[in-house]
Structure 1
Amino acid sequence: MAEAQETWTETPAATGGCQCGAVRYRLAAGPTRASVCHCRMCQRQVGGPYAAFLKLAAGQITWLGEPAWFASSDIAERGFCPACGTPLAFRDIGSEWLEITAGSLPAGFPFAPTVQFGIESRHAWIDHLAALPGEETTERPVSHQAAEQP
């Protein structure tokens, strides 16, 4: 199997963060790469079938509130909100790159994965999701502490 090629895109500045608002961040405009990872560690981090990430240079992010970090292996760590537990980031220990969880990005952020990793753990049913019937939901009002705070 061919090695995944990284496709980088220029993305705009944005703010994002956790569900409770205790940890926020600002992303500077610049090159990013969107991906999904199906590996078991990423599945466990986000509690879902895959994790979606936006990779960027660590210097492109300014944290407003400090995430907690968990060493998920001897080579990588994962950032999360210590108050509400929202998964926020992944990074190789000592790397100048950081990957932000797509779910913590603002609604409407131009996120379009160009590569997937950990395909050995990919669930077969994912291929069939687009063919399933669907319905829209109405979001409930959120408290003043919710994620869309600047």
Structure 2
Amino acid sequence: MSRIANARCLCGAVKFSARLPDTEIHACHCAQCQRWTGGGPLLTVRVQEVSTTGADAIRAYHASAHGERAFCGICGTTLYWKMQGHDIAYLPVGLFEDQSGLAVGDEIFVDHRPSWLPAWPEAAQRDEAEMQTELAAFLEGDAK
């Protein structure tokens, strides 16, 4: 059951419209996401068919050999993390005007979750080793 949802940064300079193919929120606990969000996990939802307005305000940062993090150059809002050279696949849940019906269903890099933050018991749990294996498989397929 998918739906079209609208999202925007704090100041409204960057806006997105996207199809949400499911209702699952993904929580990333990697050290970069913790630093980028100021402490907690980066909470995102999978998106498809993304349209963007205000692209001139988007600033991108290559935080790794494969990842690109973007933020609004005006207000500083976290906009997305994506694989370099690929379309946006996840947007932070806090950008969406309507967050109804969403629930955390997946936690990654759980071995880096801060001790003060409890796990979501209903969510799938994957550690860094599992994520590195998944990334390697993705990059290998991408190279072919």
Instruction: Give the unaligned 5+ runs of structure 1.
Output: 1-9, 129-150
Whole-Å separation in 2 of the counterparts to 1:123 and 1:117: 13
Q: 2: CA distance between counterparts of 1:92 and 1:103?
A: 21
- Which residue of the partner structure matches residue 130 of structure 2? none
Matched, 1:23 2:29: no
Q: Highest relative contact order (Cα 8 Å, sep 6+), 1 or 2? A: 1
* Structure 1 counterpart of 2:52: 63
What code does the residue aligned with 1:127 have?
Answer: P
Q: Which residue identity is paired with 1:15? A: N
Aligned length: 118
CA RMSD of aligned residues (A): 2.2
Bigger share in helix: 2
Higher gyration radius (CA): 1
Which of residues 73, 78, 85 is equivalent to 2:76? Answer: 85
Which whole-Å deviations, capped at 9, do the CAs of 1:17-60 have from their partners, x for residues lacking one? 10011111111353564210000111112112211011223xx1
Q: With structure 1 as the length reference, what TM-score do the two structures score?
A: 0.70
SS of corresponding position for 1:44: helix
**TM-score, length-scaled by structure 2:** 0.72
- Give, in whole Å, the separation in 2 of the partners of 1:22 and 1:68: 12
Q: Identity of counterpart residues, as a percentage? A: 26
Structure 1 equivalent of residue 36 of structure 2: 45
The answer for unaligned runs of 5 or more in structure 2 is 120-144
Query: What whole-Å deviation, never above 9, does each CA across 1:83-139 have from its counterpart, x for those lacking one?
Result: 0000011101123452101111114343212110011210121129xxxxxxxxxxx
Residue 65 of structure 1 aligns with an amino acid whose one-letter code is G
How far, CA to CA, are the matches of 1:115 and 1:29 in structure 2? 16
Q: 1:108 to 1:34 in 2, by over 3 A?
A: closer
